[in-house]
Amino acid sequence: MKKVLLLLILTIILVGCTQFQAGDNFVDDNIKVSDKKVDKPIDNKKASNSPTPEIKTINEPNPEAKSTPETITPQINDNFPTITTRVSPSNPNLGETVELTVSSEDDIGIKHLSFESAKAFVEGSTFKVFECNLQKTCTNTWKLIPAEEATYEILIVAVDSAGHSVTSNVKLEVNPARKIVSKCGNGFCNSEENEQSCPQDCYIAPLFACANNICEGGESYESCPQDCGVSNIIGTTRGDGACEPGEDIKNSPKDCTIINPKCGNNICEANETTITCSADCEQESSVEEASCTSNAACGYKKACKGGKCVSVQCTSDSHCTGCKRCSSNRCVSCGYGSAGFCTC
């Protein structure tokens, strides 16, 4: 009986174990199984002993976020320089001087001004520099003479202290050389003539030359004893504007300080008056008489000059007094000999 009971108990135990194992794979049709995943229970012992994993945070860029601009420290402004040019004349003739004026301004300072030309000027230059020594305003004028008949293209540059440069271009149209119409021979020495180019208009005869054995105006026995003696000053008229032989700047300063070489030729020149040259102009008639062709047509102490009768100092020796004679309608000193007698 005990064996039967023991066998029955074992049978029940075996059947129960078989149903328990089949429960994981068998589902009853009447039981609804949830789709949700069932989390397994956490083993607290294992969780407490396992190390905590390191959590890393990755900052990913947000495409919608606006980036903040980088802050830049402002710097002091350094403006470019300004430049102005002036050319006079802009269309010169060959051989004429051209003035090239360049001005520049800068807020800190101008280093230098310069110009460069493809064609050379008379002095041979094609490039020149003017140092401004960092002045805020700098101006310079170059005087240039074109060497050929052509178009001159000139590049002008201004450079400031920071190395900033500005440029300007200038053109010169050089025309043929100007033709000068000569007026030589008209009796007037104009600005385009000189003693070498037109001696007939501009020749100035030497007033006097000491040691040529001729006593001339501006010489006396004191200043040039080689030419003049004491007797030469006798008969001269001091203060009449004519620097006569025997008179010099010492004894006749009114006549010989500013010497008029034509004073004393008995012709009242255009630049002569009764004050500056009374020897020629003091006795000239204020009213011109009738026209004439010779002295014979004129009256006492009058001579025919320029077709008119004019008053003169003398027309013969009888019109002169003292030791003087008439020479070219003027009373001049004859001088005295060694014995003291008049040589007239």
- Copy the structure tokens of residue 250: 């010492």
- CA 336, CA 333: separation in Å to the nearest integer? 9
DSSP state of 231: G
Q: Is the pLDDT reported for residue 9 higher than 80?
A: no
Kindly list the distances between the CA atom of residue 171 and the CA atoms of 108, 119, 126, 189, 307, in Å, as whole numbers in the listed order. 30, 12, 14, 37, 59
Chain mean position to CA 24: 114
CB 253 within 8 A of CB 244: no
d(CA 49, CA 71): 52
Three-state SS letters, 153-181: EEEEEEEECCCCEEEEEEEEECECCCCCC
pLDDT band at 28 (very low <50, low <70, confident <90, very high): very low
> pLDDT tens digits for 106-142?
999 999 999 999 999 988 889 999 999 999 999 999 9
Residue 89 has pLDDT above 70, yes or no: yes
Whole-number Å distance between alpha carbons of 280 and 274: 8
How far apart (Å, rounded) are the C-alpha atoms in residues 132 and 130?
6
If you average pLDDT over residues 205-234, what whole number do you get?
83
> Are 152 and 174 within 8 A, CB to CB?
yes
The yes-or-no verdict on residue 24 having pLDDT over 60 is: no
Structure tokens belonging to residue 227: 């030419």
Sketch the domain layout of the chain as residue ranges.
Answer: 82-173, 195-282, 284-338
Share of the chain above pLDDT 70, in %: 69
Q: Evaluate if residue 57 carries a pLDDT over 50.
A: no
**Whole-angstrom distance, CA of residue 49 vs CA of residue 35:** 33
pLDDT of residue 232: 84
Higher-pLDDT residue of 147, 268: 147
Of the segments 28-42, 44-58, 252-266, which one has the largest average pLDDT value? 252-266
As a whole number, mean pLDDT of residues 171-187 equals 79
- Convert the pLDDT of each residue in 291-342 to its tens digit: 787 777 787 778 887 788 888 778 877 777 777 778 777 777 776 655 556 7
Higher pLDDT, 35 or 192: 192
The second-level CATH assignment, the architecture, of 82-173 is Sandwich (2.60)
Confidence check: pLDDT of 152 > 90 = yes
Phi, psi for residue 43 in degrees, rounded to 5: -80, 110
Instruction: Evaluate whether 296 touches 311 at the Cβ level (below 8 Å).
Output: no
**317-328 core/surface letters (b: 16 or more CB in 10 A; e: else):** eebbeebbbbee
User: What number is the average pLDDT over the span 188-212?
Assistant: 72
